[in-house]
Structure 1
Amino acid sequence: MTKLNWGMIGGGEGSQIGPAHRLGAGLDGAFTFAAGALDHRADAGRDYGQRLGLAADRAYGDWREMLEGEKGREDRVDLVTVATPNSTHFEITKAFLEAGFHVLCEKPMTMTVEEGEDIVRTAAKAGRICAVNYGYTGYSLVRHMRAMVARGDLGKVRLVKAEFAHGHHADAANADNPRVRWRYDPAQAGVSAQFADCGIHAMHMASFVTGQEVTELSADTVSCIESRELEDDAMVNFRMDGGTVGRLWTSSIALGRQHGLTLQVFGENGGLRWSQEQPNQLYWMPLNGRLQVIERGEGGLSPEADRTSRVTVGHAEGMPLAFANIYADLAEAIHAAKAGRPIDPAADLYPRAEDGLRSMAAVFAVAQSGKARGAWTDARPPMFR
Structure 2
Amino acid sequence: MSKLTWAMIGGGKGSQIGPTHRISAGLDGHFHLVASALDADPERGKAFAIDLGIAPERAYGSWQEMLEEERDRSDRPDLVTVATPNATHYEITSAFLTAGFDVLCEKPLTMTTQEAERIVAITRETGRVCAVNYGYSGYPLVRQMRAMVAAGDLGRIRLIKAEFAHGFHADAEEADNPRVRWRYDPAQAGVSAVFADAGIHAFHMACFVSGQAPREVSADFASLVGDRQLEDDAMLNIRLDGGALCRLWTSAVAIGRMHGLTLQVFGEKGGLSWQQQHPEQLLFTPLGGRTQILERGDAGLSAEAVRASRIPIGHAEGMPVAFANIYHDLADVLRAKKAGRAPDPLALHYPTAEDGLLSMRAIAAAANSAGSGGRWTDI
**TM-score scaled by length of structure 2:** 0.99
Q: Is the 8 A contact 1:130 1:353 kept in 2?
A: yes
| Cα displacement string for residues 64-92 of structure 1 (whole angstroms, at most 9, x for unaligned residues) | 11111111111110000000010000010
Distance 2:188 2:327 in 1: 29
Partner of 1:333: 333
Identify unmatched segments of 5+ residues in structure 2.
none
Aligned-partner residue type, residue 246 of structure 1: C
Cα drift, residue 337 of structure 1: 1.2
Distance 2:268 2:70 in 1: 53
Distance 1:160 1:341 in 2: 37
Cα drift, residue 339 of structure 1: 1.4
Partner of 2:171: 171
Partner of 1:382: none
1:87-102 aligned at under 5 Å gives the runs 87-102=87-102
Partner of 1:141: 141
Cα drift, residue 2 of structure 1: 2.3
Q: Is the 8 A contact 1:304 1:347 kept in 2?
A: no
Partner of 2:44: 44
Distance 2:209 2:337 in 1: 26
Distance 1:271 1:347 in 2: 26
Partner of 1:28: 28
SS at match of 2:249: strand
Alignment of 1:240 onto 2:240: yes
SS at match of 2:325: helix
Alignment size in residue pairs: 379
Distance 1:221 1:83 in 2: 27
Percent identity over the alignment is 65
1:57-96 aligned at under 5 Å gives the runs 57-96=57-96
Partner of 2:313: 313
Distance 1:156 1:209 in 2: 13
Aligned-partner residue type, residue 80 of structure 1: V
Alignment of 1:128 onto 2:128: yes
Q: Is the 8 A contact 1:9 1:63 kept in 2?
A: yes
Aligned-partner residue type, residue 93 of structure 1: T
Q: Is the 8 A contact 2:221 2:234 kept in 1?
A: yes
Distance 1:166 1:313 in 2: 29
SS at match of 1:374: coil
Q: Is the 8 A contact 1:214 1:241 kept in 2?
A: yes
Q: Is the 8 A contact 1:158 1:245 kept in 2?
A: yes
Partner of 1:150: 150
| Cα displacement string for residues 10-38 of structure 1 (whole angstroms, at most 9, x for unaligned residues) | 00000000000000000011111111100
Identify unmatched segments of 5+ residues in structure 1.
380-385
Q: Is the 8 A contact 2:175 2:226 kept in 1?
A: no
Cα drift, residue 127 of structure 1: 0.6
Distance 2:185 2:90 in 1: 19
